[in-house]
Amino acid sequence: MNILRDIGLLDRNTFKIGGKTLFYSEPCSGLELKEALDFADHNRLPVFILGKGSNLLISDSGWQGLTINTSPHFSSIRWNDSHVVAEGGATLNTLINQSISFGFSGMEQLSGIPGTVGGAVIMNAGAFDSCVADTFLSADILMPSGEIKTFSLEDAGFGYRTSHFKSNGGVVINASFKFRTQRTSDELKVLQKEILTRRKSKQPIEYPNCGSVFKRPTGNFAGTLIETCGLKGLTCGGMQISEKHANFIVNKGNGKAEEVRVLIRSAQQKVYEHTGIVLEPEVIFIGEFKEPLFEV
């Protein structure tokens, strides 16, 4: 088992923000994964499982524990007709591209979400009218106790950008999905192209970002609320509320996590003053922050 010390996380997340992790591991096997968890347990270190880092704000002071990155080695995808078992570190877009090439539908609307299968299951990632729960069959989760438990759709507790896995501290080893077969590969490719074009036109993907900063409030859109408060373009240091889409914060260069927190708090406060709605962050905070979130 290879455990490294003082590894920078800035290049391991899509925001390009964050300090170092005290310990870092990229396990190559189930055994190495268990050894890494034992190491953390033995040294009383908190553990953070990293996917592609596309939904994270990592503190400028980093993570004072062990970061386990499953994406380099837990990435196999095994098909059995329209069933698939994908390891937690597999790239979601690779899985979607394969499904489309076989003419299997169900995940095409998630095209362009830049995470892993594990991250997508934890978050119940979704776009347009679709989410991970729509095709999900089951997941094998390595629990903090060391036991591997299989969770079915009924046990997964999927909700809007959430699942039971988000809080149970387990590692998504793999997940299985069932696709539909009523469309051809060519039809699915056309749909995928439309989806990717829509994403490109609406999202500021030319700058490092973490996707939607806030969850969608019931009956409304976070971006619309923030824009109505006149906050598009609001800047703090290297970070800016995107001028293209107000529910995105973009890194214009050397941005810091604390600057993102300032912008998040400003947006929450202004939107609350105008509408009485408290915006809830979708982005996950890793490590410690000085700037608090807004509270009523």
Ligand X SMILES: Cc1cc2nc3c(=O)[nH]c(=O)nc-3n(C[C@H](O)[C@H](O)[C@H](O)COP(=O)(O)OP(=O)(O)OC[C@H]3O[C@@H](n4cnc5c(N)ncnc54)[C@H](O)[C@@H]3O)c2cc1C
Measured distance CA(21)–CA(69) in Å, rounded: 12
- Number of residues forming the site for ligand X (CB under 6 A): 32
Asked if 40 is part of the footprint of ligand X (rule: CB under 6 A), the reply reads no
* Contact letters for ligand X, residues 1-30 (x by CB under 6 A): -------------x----------------
161 is catalytic: yes
What is the closest distance, in whole angstroms, from the C-beta atom of residue 282 to ligand X in the complex? 7
| DSSP H stretches of helix in the chain | 30-42, 92-101, 117-123, 153-156, 165-168, 185-202, 222-228, 257-275
Q: Interaction with ligand X in 57-86: which residues (CB under 6 A)?
A: 70
Q: Interaction with ligand X in 129-188: which residues (CB under 6 A)?
A: 171-172
Residues near 126 by beta carbon (within 8 Å), at least 6 away in sequence: 110, 132, 160, 161
CB nearer to ligand X: give 123 or 236: 123
Asked if 125 is part of the footprint of ligand X (rule: CB under 6 A), the reply reads yes
CA 277 remoteness from chain centre: 24
CB nearer to ligand X: give 124 or 268: 124
Annotated catalytic residue, options 111, 130, 138, 161: 161
Question: Tokens standing for 166?
Answer: 């988000």
Which of 19, 126, 255, 287 touches ligand X (CB under 6 A)?
A: 126
Contact 95, 77 (CB under 8 A): yes
Stretch that binds ligand X, among 114-122, 214-222, 232-240, 288-296 (CB under 6 A): 114-122
Q: Interaction with ligand X in 251-290: which residues (CB under 6 A)?
A: 284
199 is catalytic: no
User: Helix 92-101 to helix 185-202 angle, to the nearest 10 degrees?
Assistant: 140
CB nearer to ligand X: give 113 or 226: 113
CA 115 remoteness from chain centre: 6
Bridge partners, residue 21, by sequence: 7, 63
Which of 21, 25, 54, 163 touches ligand X (CB under 6 A)?
A: 54
Q: Interaction with ligand X in 178-237: which residues (CB under 6 A)?
A: 203, 205, 209-211
* Residue 60 main-chain phi, psi, to 5 deg: -60, -25
242 is catalytic: no
| Strands 83-87 vs 77-80: parallel, antiparallel or unpaired | antiparallel
Which of 7, 122, 257, 267 touches ligand X (CB under 6 A)?
A: 122
CB nearer to ligand X: give 38 or 81: 38
What would the DSSP string read from start to end of 163-211? -THHHH--EEEEEEEE-B-SS-HHHHHHHHHHHHHHHHHHS-TTS---S
CB nearer to ligand X: give 210 or 271: 210
Q: Which residues are known to be catalytic? A: 161, 212, 282
Contact residues for ligand X, defined by CB under 6 A: 14, 48-56, 70, 88, 113-116, 118-120, 122-123, 125-127, 171-172, 203, 205, 209-211, 284
